Chains A and B, each alone.
Chain A
């Protein structure tokens, strides 16, 4: 038991987990305070599950970002890529008259291709990922606006119904999808591919010296992230039944901060998928809880606070969360590395 606790404490996702569960308690606490009489009914559960529905695109994008970030790469254009998939899925049936399933498949494949192109730009042309991401935002935004100058498109109602449906009446479809995607990570985690990702994130030169084909691995991971992003775009299409060329842009930034909040090191090589999930969970809970707290305060004091206040406070909480996490991760990592040194060289732990 004690060992188990220690294991959790040493996991990179520990700080993200604490933040997440802290805000989970706050979330349910606020729900209880708002309506004590209906708290123990099915409504609370439904409310919580509806979060998965509306935020599954963000969660999937964050998972995609996590793959890249473990390698020490930040792709700020990932949100725009999601919009690209969204626009294609919504507009292809309208422009070319394609049947919806074909259009969605094309959208997914095109997003993977786009991500691969991004990977080539970063790893073959060796442009710093941050700047490449900024440039790609321009390019993809241009393409998106060419395809769909304004929000619109055709999405069959059945897509939304399926996405909205609950399996056995209590498990939302989006949750199953997320679980499957997490399963992919659990499988990949054991493969040499992800081992190579950690190696590249730790030190690219050393990874190269041990015989890892860094360029190929990077492009493969970009394709994988593109797959997650494409799926996110399809989820967005199903959830909001429209193609929107630019709303995804903010997701790029949010996914990065979510990954950091969960405990993935920005330099790469530290963290896992659980970190990303906790991080994005924390962020979503903050975003949904803060407005509720403000309405409670308004009710109690009679002073009205507009949404600008909600945004300001969410952002401040997230900023503080970032600072706390980065410090926690650093301490954890130094302990880990000094422990490793001790094991290998027999040196003292504090060296």
Chain B
């Protein structure tokens, strides 16, 4: 009975499992290197996790609706570069409004292209979004000539983002909380959220119940683009140095966080809380490896193996026989 309970928990409660594993890894890290237990470490883990959670918001929406968005990183980099380019180190509040609108606009345009390619034209989402992200990446280099004129936002905005309340909670984690509230409301309290779950579960059934699936999916991609744009705006403040393709690594991280958090790649099942838990696990793991001063190559290796194990436990495809 007890064994069954454990098995049930491991197999079905992925969010709990992710949190448990994070705790375990954190404890192991501290046990191996007691010096790593300090307020600063908590703060940096929170900050990194918040950044990843914010970035993964759009990815969660898209994966739930049975798509995949490989352009998250490129969109964020583009939005960050646009933000920095508009602010130019100045501190006029009006400019902030323009910058955030521009970031949202950039995200919306890229998201619309993704949506039109992946849904309206019916091309494979992975390939289309990947290539669009490639083009966006090239566009950054063309726009800036390789190195942006301004590489960071004004000190006030930056310190506002990275300021730690009570020395622990970085301001960006409150943005993450706000994002959480927004996505939770969007997914669980609006018709739109319910409809994307249905689309991810069974597109045909959704269509037969009268949902305009194509239009909704395009809007969903656009929404993801907008969220990535906002993430880029926040990231511009959070990160000290913005260059072309600064956030390109985020794409894979967001997918991993979403998948660890129990969202099915096939769509129809998942939650943003899971994504946050997945982000926590990913950050704690990479923090642990950094604290134990594992060489970058070994770090790659360990991350890959752990990823394969997690995927093997949680994201297996159905067998052909069944």
Contact = CB atoms under 8 A, between A and B. Distances in A.
- Real complex partners, A and B? yes
B316 A319 contact: no
A324 B98 CA distance: 37
Contacts of A266: 124, 127
A257 B141 contact: no
B300 A127 contact: no
Contacts of A135: 304-305, 307-308, 311
Contacts of A112: none
Given A142-B304, A306-B146, A127 B299 contact: no
A145 B297 contact: yes
Most buried by A among B121, B128, B299, B320: B320
B148 interface: no
Interface string B112-137: 00000100011110111011101100
Contacts of B68: 130
Given A309-B142, A311-B138, A139 B316 contact: no
Contacts, number: 125
Nearest to A330: B122
A143 B304 CA distance: 11
B145 interface: yes
B303 interface: yes
B20 interface: no
Interface string B300-319: 11111101100110011111
A326 interface: yes
A330 B122 CA distance: 10
B308 A132 contact: yes
A203 to B, nearest CB: 10
B123 A326 contact: yes
A309 B315 CA distance: 40
Contact of A142 (B117, B146, B302): B302
B304 A318 contact: no
B51 interface: no
A46 to B, nearest CB: 31
B298 interface: yes
A45 interface: no
Nearest to A144: B297
Interface residues of A, number: 47
Nearest to A311: B138
A214 interface: yes
Given A142-B304, A208-B320, A326-B123, A127 B145 contact: no
B300 A126 contact: no
A132 B317 CA distance: 12
A33 interface: no
A328 interface: no
A256 interface: yes
A273 interface: no
Interface string A272-292: 000000000000000000000
Nearest to B252: A134
A146 interface: yes
Contacts of B315: 127-128, 131
A309 B319 CA distance: 47
B259 interface: yes
A131 B265 contact: yes
B139 interface: yes
Contacts of B135: 312, 315-316, 319
26 contacts: A121-B312, A125-B312, A126-B319, A127-B317, A131-B255, A131-B307, A131-B311, A132-B311, A134-B307, A135-B305, A135-B308, A136-B308, A138-B301, A139-B308, A141-B297, A141-B304, A146-B301, A205-B320, A266-B124, A267-B124, A308-B145, A308-B146, A309-B142, A312-B141, A315-B131, A330-B122
Interface of A: 74, 121, 125-128, 130-132, 134-146, 149, 204-205, 208, 214, 253, 256-257, 260, 266-267, 306, 308-309, 311-312, 315-316, 318-319, 322-323, 326-327, 330
Nearest first, the 9 closest Cβ-Cβ pairs linking A and B are A142-B301, A138-B304, A145-B297, A139-B304, A142-B300, A308-B141, A312-B138, A135-B307, A208-B320
